[in-house]
Amino acid sequence: MQTDSSCAAVSGTWYSPYDGATWTQASDLDIDHMVPLAEAWRSGASAWTTSRRQAFANDLESSQLWAVTDNLNQAKGDKDPAKWFPPLSSFRCMYARSWIDVKYRYDLTADEAERTALNGMLDTC
């Protein structure tokens, strides 16, 4: 698949749900994989075909991709909810629901610490 490198957002306003920040420079944002690629690999994606991994990485149909403040995405890295969650407490319910949605859709596993952290966030709903 060939992409057009001249296609880029040049103006607009973006809201980062992880911290509630609003940005006017696209460079202040990253596109975050709700379930990071490395976490997915550890949770079952290592057994997938290349095309399934590509579909997961570029999924526009589910809760997988989010525009978020760049430094928060970098801080999250490949951590699961037991090790990282959004600083904006009012978004944690949606974060947990989105994480579970992606894991469920792709039949990925969750360890005990991850489930405990998700349950704690769901308690805020």
Distance of CA 27 to the CA centre of its chain: 18
Q: Which two tokens stand for residue 19?
A: 């911290």
Cα-to-chain-centroid distance, residue 101:
11
**pLDDT tens by residue, 69-108:** 999 999 999 999 999 999 999 999 999 999 999 999 999 9
3-class secondary structure, 100: helix
pTM greater than the 0.85 cutoff: yes
CB 44 within 8 A of CB 108: yes
pLDDT tens digits along 20-78: 999 999 999 999 999 999 999 999 999 999 999 999 999 999 999 999 999 999 999 99
Cα separation, 110 vs 57, in Å, equals: 18
| Bridge partners, 32 (sequence order) | 66
